A = this chain, B = another copy of it.
């Protein structure tokens, strides 16, 4: 049985990590959660502790930590202190294997991790893909997680919506190489709008900004309602910012669009060949 879905104050935090400065980056994220202590859920960017543009396995190893490491401890501490759920990205080390992961932390401690399913480009040199799509019961609704490139694969959001997820937390490091910016929006925002709207789920995308080793990240963090309309953001392309929206997550349980139409019920798996 799913927990009831209700009002949740959601914040997406857009940071500018310094590559490899794990302790400083971690402190930035902890301070951001503390600053938004009135939120029920704070979403932080992908690889928020490490930065993104790795050039060697040694660099990844230096930044990676286990799912019960110092970042997990720091986020659990601030989650307990502020009575807030936190979802944020970090390079996870599990024995010899590394993942591009997000921690899901409640005021009671670490609830689990999500390991990025669809790795992008050089990430495939450093990380193994995940193969599980967990969901988490919170006091405000059912929480799913994607990371960055995952949102380009619409079947993942369909999977989560069918699993009853009300809100997808999306730590991301969107880069501009995928496409132009139709209507001024980076393509990750368009994909998020489409995914939210098609599946009637909230999407809370926390992107990073800044330039790292020649790669400029896109910013434009955004919180989308289940109609695909921004409730907060998109934030500016550059710089550290945050956006907060009060979300009635029960709206994600209304898949009926009219008395005759249902976003999930009208799917035609008998016709799809996927």
For A261-274 the 0/1 string (1 means CB < 8 A from B) is: 10100111111111
> With A153-B198, A191-B197, A197-B179 in contact, do A158 and B272 touch (Cβ < 8 Å)?
yes
Contact of A197 among B118, B187, B257, B274 (CB under 8 A): B187
For A37-62 the 0/1 string (1 means CB < 8 A from B) is: 00000000000000000000000000
Report how many copies the assembly holds: 2
> With A153-B266, A197-B187 in contact, do A159 and B260 touch (Cβ < 8 Å)?
no
Contact between A272 and B155, CB atoms less than 8 A apart: yes
Chain B residue with minimal CB distance to A122?
Answer: B260
Interface residues in A101-145 by Cβ distance below 8 A to B read 117-118, 120-122, 124, 129, 131-133
Contact between A153 and B267, CB atoms less than 8 A apart: yes
> With A228-B187, A260-B122 in contact, do A182 and B178 touch (Cβ < 8 Å)?
no
Interface residues in A231-257 by Cβ distance below 8 A to B read 257
Chain B residue with minimal CB distance to A272?
Answer: B155
A197 contacts across to B, CB distance below 8 A: 152, 178-179, 187, 190-191
A187 contacts across to B, CB distance below 8 A: 193, 197, 227-228
Contact between B274 and A155, CB atoms less than 8 A apart: yes
Contact between A198 and B191, CB atoms less than 8 A apart: yes
A228, chain B: closest CB distance, angstroms? 6
Contact between B131 and A270, CB atoms less than 8 A apart: yes
Contact between B182 and A228, CB atoms less than 8 A apart: yes
- Is A229 close to B, CB under 8 A? yes
**Given contacts A131-B271, A179-B229, could you give 11 more A-B pairs where the C-beta distance is less than 8 Å?**
A118-B268, A121-B261, A152-B263, A155-B274, A156-B272, A159-B271, A182-B230, A190-B197, A191-B197, A191-B198, A193-B194
> With A182-B229, A260-B124 in contact, do A154 and B159 touch (Cβ < 8 Å)?
no
Which residues of A line the B interface, CB within 8 A? 117-118, 120-122, 124, 129, 131-133, 152-156, 158-159, 162-163, 177-180, 182-185, 187, 190-191, 193-195, 197-198, 227-230, 257-258, 260-261, 263, 266-274
A157, chain B: closest CB distance, angstroms? 8
Contact between B122 and A162, CB atoms less than 8 A apart: no
Once the chains are docked, how many angstroms separate the CA of A154 from the CA of B274?
A: 11
Once the chains are docked, how many angstroms separate the CA of A26 from the CA of B121?
A: 50
Once the chains are docked, how many angstroms separate the CA of A118 from the CA of B267?
A: 8
Contact between A268 and B153, CB atoms less than 8 A apart: yes
Contact of A227 among B133, B179, B191, B260 (CB under 8 A): B179
Once the chains are docked, how many angstroms separate the CA of A122 from the CA of B270?
A: 22
> With A155-B158, A268-B118, A271-B131 in contact, do A194 and B183 touch (Cβ < 8 Å)?
no
